[in-house]
Amino acid sequence: MQKLGEELRNRAGQKIVDPEYLLFEAPREKVFMTGSEVVKEAVKRASVDASVSYPITPQSEAAHLIGELWVEGYVGVYFRGESEFGVMSEIAGCSMAGARTITTTSGPGTLRAMENFPMWAGSRLPIQLVLMARGINSPLSIQPDDLEVSFLLDTGCMVWYAENAQELFDMILAGFVVAEQPDVHVPVINVINGFFISHTRESVMLPPDDIALPPYNPYKAPMPPIDMEMPPGRFLRDPFVMKSNYISYATHTSWQFEVRAAIERARPYIKKYLGSLIEEFGDPEADIVLVSTGTGAAQSKEAVRLLEDEGVKARVVKLRTIRPFPINELRQAVKNAKVIFVPEFNVVGWLEREIRRYLYKHSDAEIIGGPRVAGGMTMPPEIIVKDVLNYLGKEVKHVY
């Protein structure tokens, strides 16, 4: 940070502003952009210190664009690692050494990197991962499919899910702010459905690019950074606690609970910086509820409009965060629901499982897992409409 007159500037020379100003108050201009381009715009305004990349469709372009920011001086460290396992370890090193970090991956890359994610969380590294979900092997598919998200739910990382490029932009900025809170300080994974968001253009409102988030302060972290600048000088991040005598099992247990507790502590910050953990859409009185995330929620909103034409009232509850799970928000939102549909972009229905778990004994609604598409299929709103009409015993007039 340097001081210029009264203004604080980051190392790229951008004026440092409060996160609240950047997210809510700064004037915004309309642009027409892909999700990948939006990643660049968010990173550009985030005083990012380090990013490490590896090619995999559909996230490569976003990673290239972060590289451009490095060339332009907006990002301090940038390079291509040897594999996603290497990349996620390299970015962990950057984070331990006190950097604000972001990286991106997709599908097989996520699974290749897997061992790193619980390590990130256990080491209290507030790394941001933008996950552009795609199918996982086998068979290989580069197409959108979000099965990979289910593997991440218990890693100790926060998992957020953006519906469109606009939300992705705001979530990346909010992601740094929330994840880096000293009492949170765990990784945040911002998910989008690959291609649908990464490769399509939509209008997005952006604040000016000469302002940016305050830089990360590693000396407020819940553990000292690895830089030999903060005591204790004797510090291993992170030790084999099992070798401590006596109740060493307690340390490991307590440590794991602490990581999960950190995710819980994110709730008020998420409310502050994202508005809410959920978004509700449609007639609040409707007792047909579509609970979904990301592109599934976008298609559900469209389905609600079509259902209205059919004389059926329905609404959408979009989950912005999966970890922390919006438990009370969801329970409240489906209080009067008679039936809940869970449209998903995978064959296993991980979101349905989550919803059943948290609504068990908290809702009398029938829960229907579906419709589900996978392997690159799109989810036309008509298939949601069809499932709802079928359930209601109404005639299905649509093309299907």
Partner 1 sequence: MSINIFKINEDLKEFIPQEVIDLEEKATWGNPKRGVMDLPYAKELLEEHSLCAGCPESMAFRYILASLPNPEDTIIVNSTGCTSLVFPHIALHTVHSLFGNQNAVATGIKRTLEWRFPDKVKDVIVLAGDGATVDIGLDCTLQSFFRQEKITTICFDNEVYANTGGQESGTTVQGHVFKMAPKGKQWPKVQMWQLAIDSGCHYVVRMSVSSPKKVEQVVKKAIYVAREVGPTYLHFYTPCILEIGLNSDDGLMEMRDKDKERFKFFEYVSPQAEEVIAKKKEEGLL
Partner 2 sequence: MATLGPSHYSPYPVAVYENILPPPPGKALLFTEVVDEEVAMREAAKAMLTRENPTIFPGPQVIYAWNEEAKEKARLIRELAEVLEAKIIPMVDYRPKYPKIDPEKEINPNHPNLTIWHNNIKACIFVGVHCHYANVALKIIRAETDCFTIALCSNAGHEDAMITLRDQHAEELKKFIEIAKEVKKEVK
Residue 372 binding partner 2, by CB under 8 A: no
Contacting residue, 231, 285, 309, 361, with partner 2 by CB under 8 A: 231
Cis-peptide into 324, omega within 30 deg: yes
Q: Phi-psi region for residue 230, left (φ > 0), alpha (ψ -120 to 50) or beta?
A: beta
Of the pair 197, 221, the CB lying nearest partner 2 is at 221
Residue 1 binding partner 2, by CB under 8 A: no
Residue of 264, 267, 229, 261 whose CA lies nearest to 98: 229
Q: Indicate the DSSP class of residue 17.
A: -
Contacting residue, 6, 71, 138, 246, with partner 2 by CB under 8 A: 246
Taking the complex as a whole, the smallest distance from the CB of residue 50 to partner 2 amounts, in Å, to 22
Contacting residue, 205, 250, 347, 348, with partner 2 by CB under 8 A: 250
Residue 91 binding partner 1, by CB under 8 A: yes
Contacting residue, 13, 73, 239, 284, with partner 1 by CB under 8 A: 239
Of the pair 235, 391, the CB lying nearest partner 2 is at 235
Taking the complex as a whole, the smallest distance from the CB of residue 254 to partner 1 amounts, in Å, to 17
Strand partners, 79: 52
| 266, 156 contact by CB (below 8 A) | no
Residue 146 binding partner 1, by CB under 8 A: no
Tell me the site size for partner 1, rule CB under 8 A. Answer: 44
Please state, in angstroms and rounded to a whole number, the distance separating the CA atoms of residues 286 and 146.
Answer: 28
Q: What is the sign of the dihedral through the CA atoms of 237, 113, 264 and 178?
A: positive
Residue 200 binding partner 2, by CB under 8 A: no
Run of H or E including 280? strand 278-282
Please state, in angstroms and rounded to a whole number, the distance separating the CA atoms of residues 338 and 392.
Answer: 11
Residue 275 binding partner 1, by CB under 8 A: no
Residue 97 binding partner 2, by CB under 8 A: no
Task: Kindly give, in sequence order, each residue whose CB lies less than 8 Å from that of residue 103, ignoring residues fewer than 6 positions away.
Answer: 51, 52, 53, 63, 87, 88, 91, 127, 128, 129, 130
Of the pair 30, 361, the CB lying nearest partner 2 is at 361
| 367, 351 contact by CB (below 8 A) | no
Residue 239 binding partner 2, by CB under 8 A: yes
Residue 240 binding partner 1, by CB under 8 A: yes
Residue of 264, 275, 106 whose CA lies nearest to 186: 264
- The C-alpha R_g of the chain, in whole angstroms, comes to 21
| From 92-100, 162-170, 294-302, 375-383, span contacting partner 1 (CB under 8 A) | 92-100
Residues 51 to 70: which contact partner 1 by CB under 8 A?
Answer: 52
Taking the complex as a whole, the smallest distance from the CB of residue 295 to partner 1 amounts, in Å, to 32
Residue 99 binding partner 1, by CB under 8 A: yes
For residue 179 the two structure tokens come to 């994840």
Residue 228 binding partner 2, by CB under 8 A: no
Please state, in angstroms and rounded to a whole number, the distance separating the CA atoms of residues 250 and 382.
Answer: 52
| From 148-156, 219-227, 252-260, 294-302, span contacting partner 1 (CB under 8 A) | 219-227
Q: What is the sign of the dihedral through the CA atoms of 74, 76, 48 and 145?
A: positive
Instruction: Point out which residues bind partner 2 (CB under 8 A).
Output: 124, 181-183, 185, 220-224, 229-236, 239-241, 243-248, 250-251, 253-255, 257-258, 260-261, 264-265, 267-268
Instruction: Point out which residues bind partner 1 (CB under 8 A).
Output: 49-50, 52, 76-77, 79, 81-83, 85-87, 89-99, 115-116, 119, 123, 224, 226-240, 243
